[in-house]
Chains A and B, each alone.
Chain A
Amino acid sequence: DSGVTQTPKHLITATGQRVTLRCSPRSGDLSVYWYQQSLDQGLQFLIQYYNGEERAKGNILERFSAQQFPDLHSELNLSSLELGDSALYFCASSLRGEARDTQYFGPGTRLTVL
């Protein structure tokens, strides 16, 4: 158990809809990361937050947005969903949000868009 929790575990929705994925970081960690893993592919970095502020941005679509709240939990919002958005979405946390930090991953949310 990494200490990172993600809800929900599974999400099935239709094209055009909007969903919110939630992540609670490990106790004491200030930075949160979001990754997308499509079928048989690696983890694509989406976005990183540190203590409530956006720190780094990857290939995150404009239809996607995220935020980190004062209690350090984070939410990833996916809107106008398309079939291609079906994937595993992982949240990770680390202590300082620096390059040498070990990232601790949650179990992921499996999103299926029908």
Chain B
Amino acid sequence: DQQVKQNSPSLSVQEGRISILNCDYTNSMFDYFLWYKKYPAEGPTFLISISSIKDKNEDGRFTVFLNKSAKHLSLHIVPSQPGDSAVYFCAASARDTNAGKSTFGDGTTLTVKP
């Protein structure tokens, strides 16, 4: 039972355009969501997060939207740059535990073409 799903294994966009990466979750206990970016031969790095009390969080070119009723979140990158080409992981966690473990999706490989 995969609780966090990224249904698009890959996405290709043109430089300067918007990239939209999607993530769905099933566990209603999740109340904190994160996006990580991973380059080849490196570990994932934190990108942006959102708490369930918000529906939007913005950091520069990156914006995460949360739709709790649909159990869906998305990451928007505007404008996309070739350096954004990487694997993007969506992750979710539940505060109502004494632990910090996150449940990750399988990732979406973003390719930004010059």
Q: How many residues of chain B are within 8 Å of chain A by beta carbon?
A: 30
The answer, among B32, B41, B43, B94, for a CB contact under 8 Å with A90, is B43
Q: Is the CB of B95 within 8 A of A100?
A: yes
Q: Is the CB of B104 within 8 A of A99?
A: no
Q: How many whole Å from A43's CB to the nearest CB in chain B?
A: 4
Query: Is the contact region of chain B dominated by helix, strand, or loop, or is it mixed?
Result: loop
Q: Is the CB of A45 within 8 A of B102?
A: yes
Q: Which A residues touch B105, using CB under 8 A?
A: 42
Q: Which of B101, B102, B103 has the most CB of A within 10 A?
A: B101
Question: Does B70 sit within 8 A of A, measured CB to CB?
Answer: no
A38-52 contact mask (Cβ, 8 Å, vs B): 1 or 0: 001111110010000
**Given A40-B106, A42-B105; A56-B99 close (CB under 8 Å):** yes
**Stretch with Cβ within 8 A of B (4 or more), from A14-22, A62-70, A72-80, A104-112:** A104-112
Q: Is the CB of B107 within 8 A of A42?
A: yes
CB nearest neighbor in A for B109: A40
A-B contact pairs, 7 of them (CB 8 A): A48-B101, A92-B43, A97-B100, A99-B94, A100-B93, A103-B102, A107-B43
Give A contacts to B, CB under 8 Å: 2, 4, 31, 33, 35, 40-45, 48, 55-56, 58, 90, 92, 94, 96-108
